[in-house]
Every structure is written in structure tokens, then in C-alpha cells.
Amino acid sequence: MLFGRSQKNPIKIADKQVTEWKYATCGYCSTGCAMEIGLDQEGKPVSSRGVGGADVNRGKLCLKGIMEHELFASAGRGDKPLLRDRIDQPMVAASWDSALDKVADQIKTVQQKYGRDAMAIVSTGQMLTEEFYTLGKLARGLIGSNNYDGNTTLCMASAVSGYKRSFGSDGPPGCYADFDHTDCLLAWGSNLPEQHPVIYWRLKEAQEKRQFPLIVVDPRVTMLAQNADTHLAITPGTDIVLQNALMHVILNEGLEDRDYIDKNTNGIEALKAEVDKYDPTTAAGICGIDEDTIRVVARLYARAKASMQIWTMGINQSTHGSDGVVGINNLALITGNIGKPGGTSLSITGQCNAMGTREWSSCSGLPNHRYLENAQHRQEIAEFWNIDENFLPTQRGLAQTDIFRAIETGEIKGLWLIATNPLTSMPNTARIRKAMQKLDFCVVQDCYADTESADYAHVFLPAGTWAEKEGVMTNTERRVNMVTPVIKPYGDAKPDLWIFNQLAKRFNTHGKVKFPASAGAVFEEMKLLSKGRLCDISGMTHELIEKSRGIQWPYTQEQVESGEAPLAGGVRLYTEAVSFCYADGKAKLIPLPFINNNEIPDEKFPIWLNTGRLVEHFHTRTKTGKVGNNNKFSPIPFIEINPDAAIELNVKDGDYVRLVSRRSDAVVMAKYTQRVAKNAVFLPFHFHDCANRLTLGLLDPYSRQPAYKQQAVRIEPMVDQQAAAKLSMEMRKF
């Protein structure tokens, strides 16, 4: 039999007639792939390609990046400002001036009536860094609401909090090049091949050359787990038990790095006393990993010359999220695996510029990792911005998740959402919907007008997106890279930076605070504020960043002037002895007692519900839901279900089922796979009125991040499959 197309003419790919390529950094995930967008003769974006000379991706892109040029003119883009007085009225088109006037007036009204903090601002990890910095100046310096935070609370907050607790500062210490030096890689709750495909490619390439062991901790057989040497299918929410048990073995078998511990850390005695309670036999009973495997993994990790850990949402999105990060850092510190090639604890970040917002947005503090709680930091920033120091609060306000609770209680009356879609992304949709209905005033600033959250807006501000704008983004490995304006914003949409600057004029009536108009000028201002700090970018310029295809911070002016600047910037942090950010330069070892406080399956709700992502979709599908070749892969919501469980329930592969939690229900298709255990299902969270109708969202006490990955549901078969299919379709907006 003949396979292939030998009897036919070869496939011809139509020439896209690209006449110019323009530089950008991908606007989806935090890998930070350098890319170029091809424009045809009319200046229309027609193609995307990876940049060969870029250190991150070396010419590669994944299936989201490769189709990213299709976004600019995709369905649902906002093309003009929209207004209404009440949310049960239709929106009407308005001029920019009247929309911005209304936003400024309403913010002032809410603040006068209910107090400054009654106006909350919720931002994102998906704007450019210059925009983050400018919004921070406006929010903290002029509007003066302390209830200003970002969707990063749903995402990176546990990592930030864990880094701060262990090392005294935020800032991932490692880089992708660590894969080329490591002798052992331990990955916690991270599915690189689907969520960071190009980081995975870097890992795979390194592994093929040097054959180091890959150990994956994940309750589900993810694509990364399928490629692992050892897969530890952990009981959901028990990672710190496993971490404590690994440390138990290491400390009791003398496998720790005593010299490193003595020189660089505080707290080994208290840590040892706690982990002594987690012998492998006891731990196995809680975390579900057998005791011998725990011992083998502990020895592998501790004996390797350089060991690396990475993690993503399987750790962060838990009631023990911050502790899980500290546990990873503890393991790294007791074995001396920080700041050396291949020895690191690297948080894989999420959104394209999750790092930029951590560094510069002032969301939970002040620019460049400064704290509101620190008097000197407040003084420095007040002086630099030319505002009264007493205008700044002395303690951070509410985190994003607490802001929605304060709307419920009436403490917050106004909400400005910027590049985030909480109606789909927050846990317990019904509760969020009710909260949104309580607001006196809501403004949504988004590049799409058809988001579920825009349904609750009094004003909609259409923003330019990604490469319709100019500025920088920082990726997982602290690499700052450029986005250049490839095309002008869609319709009458405007860059977020322009919107912030126009609003600033309406609050800055005496012109005391300077708001530079161009991204380049904003960047120059940020450089001044970064000098001498951990995140020093004073040696960078937009031009140099583009020429280098991205530069890692720290990258100082002194290094550049003395000719000592490494080409790619600061590859690793904490490379010197006692260089941590606590006053004595030492890192903290912190004991982590385990308290099981998750919603655990029981008789009524016997199945673990795990939620997460698919390679073809991004978040709430405002973007990938509109790109044919992304949406086609999974246009409808589904669960992964173990065939043994399905057969017992009389559910066939492809049947629609009803998932019921203590919050609500959702109708989804059942897909058979042995990737999930018999007592668990996996549900992608990308679809509106689906996964997050069911989630509980208990919060981590330190980071206030929701536990999206652990909750209990039951599965109900549905008799009328046609009606079920219709229901499932109707639940989605697009």
C-alpha cells in the first residue's frame, strides 16, 4: 500500500508576499520568544517567525506564537470607547475625551463619597513594562488608592512571597542555560511541553546531550511526566510533605552541604527539628509516594554535582503555595544549589510580562521591588515623583482576591480592570458575578470588547495590544526584551500608555508629576530608579536590547562604561557567598508544618477536580478563541477522565456529563485517558462559565493566591445527550 502523496503534486504553500519583518517578543507566555512579524506591501501582518540569533528560542516558536499575527484584526476587538450609566443599558459609542472625562469624574466621585481606597484598580501581567510603571505612578502617586493589585495574585504571588521569605527579595535566581549544566532536574507542578513549549525544547536539547535525570512531581501524567525518568504522582496539595520527607532523608543521611549551610543560611536547627517528623514511612501515607522512591529521589537530588528545581502552578495555586516555594528553596539551600550553573530554584513564570509587573508596577509596593512598609523607599519614590511622601500608604492594601471580597462587603465601590478578565479567571464565578453587579462604577480597559467582564462595565476603553505598542517585557529568566510597534492599534483603540497619560492629566492638574509620553523616555526614567538595586537595568537601552535580542538583569551602567558588561547581562543571582537580600546576607531556612486544609473528596463529592491549561489555548480565550488554528484543537470544554471511573458511571468516551461541586455545576464532554487517576478529573479552565463555576478558591495565607488545583466534585451522567450538548454550548460566550 502506498502512503503519502507520491501520486499527487507536492503541496504548495502560497507565498505570503512579506516585504518587511518587524521585531517583537511573543505576547503569550513567559518563555519570551523573540520573533518577527511579516508585513505585506500594504503593511498588513501576514506571518510570524522566530528569530534565529535569539538566545531564548533560537528560531523556534510554538503554535500560539506562529499564528500571533492573526490577532491584530481578530473578532471582538474593541475599536471605540463605549459608555452607559447603568449596566442593564446598551453601550453607546463615545469620543476618547468624553470617556476619559467620565472615568476621571467617576473615580473622583467614588473617592470623595467613600474614601480613597474605595476605588480599586486591578491590573495584569500582559502589558509592557513602561505601561506598568506609568500605571503605578498614576495609581499610587495621583489617584492614591491602596487597593491596587494585579491578576498576578492568581499566578505568581506564591512564588514572589516564597522568594521574599527565603532570600529576602523577589527575583528568580536561575536561567534556561542552567539546563546545560545541571545533573538532576526536579520539576514540581509544571507542564513545560504544553505551557512553555520552547523552554521545554531547551531542556530536551540539554537532556539529550547530557542525560541527566528528570523527576516530575504532578498528580497527572502530563506530557512532561511522560518524558520523565521518574514520575511522582503525588496526592493533590501535599507537596510540602514530600519536600519535608526529602529533606528528612538528606539531613539524616548526611547528604547536605554543611559548608554552604553554615556560611549562607540561618535556621538549620529549627528546620531539622521539623523535618524529623516527616520520615519517609509517615510521609508516604500522606503524599502517596512510596517510601523507597522518596529515599531514591532524595539521594539522586542531593548527590548530583548541580541540581535544579523548577515549578509552576501545581505549587503556586495551593493553600500551601508560598510554603511550597519555601520548601523548594529549603531543599536548594541545604544542598548548596543556588547561584551556581545548573544549581538553582527557578520559578517558571506565566504571562508574557508577569516579571515586568513584579518589578515595576508598584502593585503590592513601590517600583523596582521597593516596599511601602519601608520609610526610606517611600521617601525615595516620593521625591523622585515629586509627590508628598505622606500621600503614600505605609502598608500594602488588599490583594486582588481580597478586593473582590471587599466589593461584596461594600467596602469597595469602584473598579478599574486593566487587561484581565476575572469573570472567567477568578474562582467561584457566581460569587464574582454578584460582586460585579454591586459596583457603583466599573471601567474595563481591554483590547477585546467582548470579554465577559466588559458586560459589567460602565465605561469600556479599547486598548492596543502587544505589538501595536512599544516597550519591554521581562521573561522567566529575567531577560528584558523589546516589542516594537508593528501596526497601529485597531480602529480607534489606543496604547495603554497613552490612556494612562491622558488620565494622569485629569488628576495632575498642577502638572507637578511628570508623565513622559514615549516608552523610550519612560524607560530612561526607570533606569534611574534601578541604579544600585538587585534589578539594575541602568546599562540597557531600547536599541541595545533589540540588538542583543534581550538582556538579563542586572545590567548596570558601570559594567557598560568599564567594558565589563557580559553580552547577555546577569545570568544568575546570588552567585557570591552571603549575597542574599537579608541584612546579614544570609538566606532563611524556614520550617514548614503541614496542615491539611484542602477541600478533599468525600462520599458526596468523591472526585478530585484539577484545573489547568492546554497548549493551544491561552487563558480565557479572548485571543486563542478567535484564531482558527488554535481554537480548532479544542473548541469545546472537556474533562480528562479515567476509563475505569467512566465505565463505572456508565459514561462513554465523548458523552457529555454534568460536573457538580459545592458551588455550582458545569456541562462538559468526557474524554477517556489514563493521564488522570480513577479518583480525579482534569478540566482546562479556558472556557467561560465552566471550570471556575466549580472552583472553591481557598486562599494561601501569605500570597492570597487561590487553590485552583484542589477541589472535590461528583460526575453525573446525562441522559439526553443532545440537550446536554446544547447546554454546554450555551454556557460559553464564544
Ligand X SMILES: Nc1nc2c(c(=O)[nH]1)N[C@H]1C(S)=C(S)[C@@H](COP(=O)(O)OP(=O)(O)OC[C@H]3O[C@@H](n4cnc5c(=O)[nH]c(N)nc54)[C@H](O)[C@@H]3O)O[C@H]1N2
Residues that bind ligand SF4 (CB under 6 A): 26, 28-29, 31-33, 57, 61-62, 64-65, 196-198
- Our CA angle for 26, 172, 163, nearest 5°, is 130
- Provide the minimum distance between the beta carbon of 598 and ligand SF4 in the complex, in angstroms, as a whole number: 30
User: Number of residues in contact with ligand X, rule: CB under 6 A?
Assistant: 62
CA distances from 659 to 227, 451, 719 (A): 30, 24, 14
The residue (of 65 and 393) whose beta carbon lies closer to ligand SF4 is 65
- Provide the minimum distance between the beta carbon of 709 and ligand X in the complex, in angstroms, as a whole number: 3
- Partner touching 237 among Mo ion, ligand X, ligand SF4, none, CB below 5 to 8 Å by kind: ligand X
286 Cβ contact list (under 8 Å, min separation 6): 235, 238, 241, 594, 596
In the shown chain, the binding pattern of residues 321 to 350 toward ligand X, with x for contact by CB under 6 A and - for none, equals -----------------------------x
In the shown chain, the binding pattern of residues 589 to 618 toward ligand X, with x for contact by CB under 6 A and - for none, equals ---------------------xxxx-x-xx
In the shown chain, the binding pattern of residues 219 to 258 toward ligand X, with x for contact by CB under 6 A and - for none, equals xx-x-----------x-xx-x-------------------
Count the helices and strands in the chain (H runs, E runs): 26, 26
Is residue 460 a contact point for ligand X (CB under 6 A)? Answer: no
The residue (of 91 and 155) whose beta carbon lies closer to Mo ion is 155
Determine the Cα–Cα distance for residues 442 and 466; give it in Å rounded to an integer.
Answer: 24
Q: Are 196 and 31 in contact (CB under 8 A)?
A: yes
Torsion of CA 157, 463, 507, 114, to 10 degrees: -60
- Chain position carrying cell 460602565: 458
- Partner touching 190 among Mo ion, ligand X, ligand SF4, none, CB below 5 to 8 Å by kind: ligand X
User: Number of residues in contact with Mo ion, rule: CB under 5 A?
Assistant: 2
- Partner touching 248 among Mo ion, ligand SF4, ligand X, none, CB below 5 to 8 Å by kind: none
- Partner touching 198 among ligand X, ligand SF4, Mo ion, none, CB below 5 to 8 Å by kind: ligand SF4
CA distances from 270 to 199, 241, 330, 411, 588 (A): 36, 16, 12, 41, 11
Strand ranges (E), 110-235: 119-123, 148-150, 184-188, 214-217, 230-232
Q: Are 444 and 459 in contact (CB under 8 A)?
A: yes
- Partner touching 33 among Mo ion, ligand SF4, ligand X, none, CB below 5 to 8 Å by kind: ligand SF4
- Partner touching 301 among Mo ion, ligand SF4, ligand X, none, CB below 5 to 8 Å by kind: none
Q: In terms of C-beta distances under 8 Å and separation of at least 24 residues, what long-range contacts does 716-724 make, across chains too?
A: 716/657, 716/658, 716/659, 716/660, 717/649, 717/650, 717/651, 717/655, 717/657, 718/655, 718/656, 718/657, 718/658, 718/667, 721/655, 721/656, 724/656, 724/657, 724/658, 724/667
- Partner touching 61 among ligand SF4, Mo ion, ligand X, none, CB below 5 to 8 Å by kind: ligand SF4
Determine the Cα–Cα distance for residues 287 and 193; give it in Å rounded to an integer.
Answer: 25
- Partner touching 26 among ligand X, ligand SF4, Mo ion, none, CB below 5 to 8 Å by kind: ligand SF4
Is residue 548 a contact point for ligand X (CB under 6 A)? Answer: no
Assigned C-alpha cell, 496: 495603554
- Chain position carrying cell 523610550: 520
- Partner touching 496 among ligand X, ligand SF4, Mo ion, none, CB below 5 to 8 Å by kind: ligand X
- Provide the minimum distance between the beta carbon of 368 and ligand X in the complex, in angstroms, as a whole number: 22
Per-position DSSP letters for 408-457, written without gaps between them: HHTS--EEEEES--HHHHSS-HHHHHHHHHT-SEEEEEESBS--TGGGG-
Per-position DSSP letters for 658-689, written without gaps between them: EEE-SS-EEEEEEEE-TTS-TTEEEEES-STT
* Segment 145 to 174, residues that bind Mo ion, using CB under 5 A: 155
The residue (of 483 and 712) whose beta carbon lies closer to ligand SF4 is 483
The residue (of 28 and 500) whose beta carbon lies closer to ligand SF4 is 28
Is residue 151 a contact point for ligand X (CB under 6 A)? Answer: yes
341 Cβ contact list (under 8 Å, min separation 6): 177, 178, 180, 181, 306, 572
Q: Are 339 and 534 in contact (CB under 8 A)?
A: no
Among 350, 414, 591, 625, binds Mo ion (CB under 5 A): 350
The residue (of 611 and 728) whose beta carbon lies closer to ligand X is 611
Determine the Cα–Cα distance for residues 271 and 103; give it in Å rounded to an integer.
Answer: 51
Among 120, 338, 366, 418, binds ligand X (CB under 6 A): 418
Is residue 663 a contact point for ligand X (CB under 6 A)? Answer: no
Q: Are 513 and 459 in contact (CB under 8 A)?
A: no
- Partner touching 703 among Mo ion, ligand X, ligand SF4, none, CB below 5 to 8 Å by kind: none
In the shown chain, the binding pattern of residues 709 to 728 toward ligand X, with x for contact by CB under 6 A and - for none, equals x-------------------
Is residue 612 a contact point for Mo ion (CB under 5 A)? Answer: no
Q: How many residues does the chain have?
A: 734
- Provide the minimum distance between the beta carbon of 25 and Mo ion in the complex, in angstroms, as a whole number: 17
Is residue 60 a contact point for ligand X (CB under 6 A)? Answer: no
Catalog residues that contact ligand X under the rule CB under 6 A.
29, 124, 126-127, 151, 154-155, 188-191, 194-196, 217-220, 222, 234, 236-237, 239, 312-315, 317-318, 350-351, 418-422, 425, 445-448, 451, 463, 465-466, 496, 610-613, 615, 617-620, 622, 685, 691-692, 695, 708-709
Binding residues for Mo ion (CB under 5 A): 155, 350
